Structure 1
Amino acid sequence: MSEKQQKILYMCTVGGEDAEKASICIGLANAALALEEDVSLVLMGKSVYLAQKGYTDHIHQAGERAPLKKLMNDFMELGGKLLVCKPCIEERNMEISDFIEGSELATGTTLNMAILESDKQLTF
């Protein structure tokens, strides 16, 4: 565990169409949570589907990486904060009720505040 807890913001912009990149993003977020850091995962663009109930059930990454469903479940169980871009879901005619428990809607203001308050940001 680090001496000072870091606030790390992971921003994901890909979904099942690039499962490798999505799994790297979520896997790194999970590793930071295991180090007891304060981690938020922002889903923007196509990545909003990753939080949709049932979406990750059948997406498996080739190789030794964990399936996206497990990565998402682990993220939530480890206490990560999941922010889903509100304009992105509105563009796709989705509702917050379509998403896994613990998902939070994020507006442009919310996302900018999360960026400003974080110590580190990574975008995938």
Structure 2
Amino acid sequence: MATMTDYVGTLFDNTDSNPSKITLAFTMAGVALKKEHSATVILMADAVHLALPNALDNVDIGAPFEPAGKLLEAFIEKGGHVLVCGACMQHNGVKEADIDKRFAVISGDDVVELLMSAQGGLQLN
């Protein structure tokens, strides 16, 4: 798990509540990487469902934004990290064995540490 990161995006919504927030979270995190910052997206609350494989495949809010699945793949390919709140997973019935293997499960302590050490971030709730 990344213990320090320059940019942290926190995402709270699932695909059925607000796909624009999902798209913006991965768009802005990708911009941070393009500007040579390290970047992390944390999935919390209902957003833990986005940790399931292919969860972003049908999230596309249209131009000028890329589809969320494509944004996620580019983000990971360029070194971005996706972290998932373990307590939120438990609360929402998401099992660690079922999530995308590229994502890491973290605790509330980890969330606070990442947020406090980041240079900046975006909270989408």
TM bucket normalised to smaller: 0.7 to 0.9
How far apart, in 2, do the equivalents of 1:101 and 1:69 lie?
15
For residues 1-124 of structure 1, what are the structure 2 equivalents within 5 Å? 7-16=6-15, 17-124=17-124
Q: Aligned partners of 2:73, 2:22: CA distance in 1, in Å?
A: 14
Structure 2 unaligned blocks of 5 or more:
none
Shift of 1:103: 0.5
Q: How many Å apart are 1:63 and its aligned residue?
A: 3.2
Structure 1, unmatched stretches of 5+, are 1-5
Residue aligning to 1:3: none
**Which SS does the other structure have where 1:100 is aligned?**
coil
Instruction: For 1:34, give the aligned amino acid.
Output: K
Q: Distance in 2 between matches of 1:118 and 1:83?
A: 15
Identical-pair percentage = 21
Could you say which structure has the higher helix fraction?
1
RMSD: 1.4
Aligned positions, number: 119
- Secondary structure, aligned partner of 1:76: helix
1:50-106 CA-to-partner distances (Å, cap 9, x unmatched) read 221121122221333111111111111111111101111111221222222321111
SS of equivalent to 1:56 = coil
Normalised by the size of structure 1, how large is the TM-score? Answer: 0.87
The answer to whether the Cα contact below 8 Å between 1:83 and 1:105 also exists between their aligned partners in 2 is yes
Asked whether the equivalents of residues 96 and 103 of structure 1 are also in contact (C-alpha less than 8 Å), the reply is no
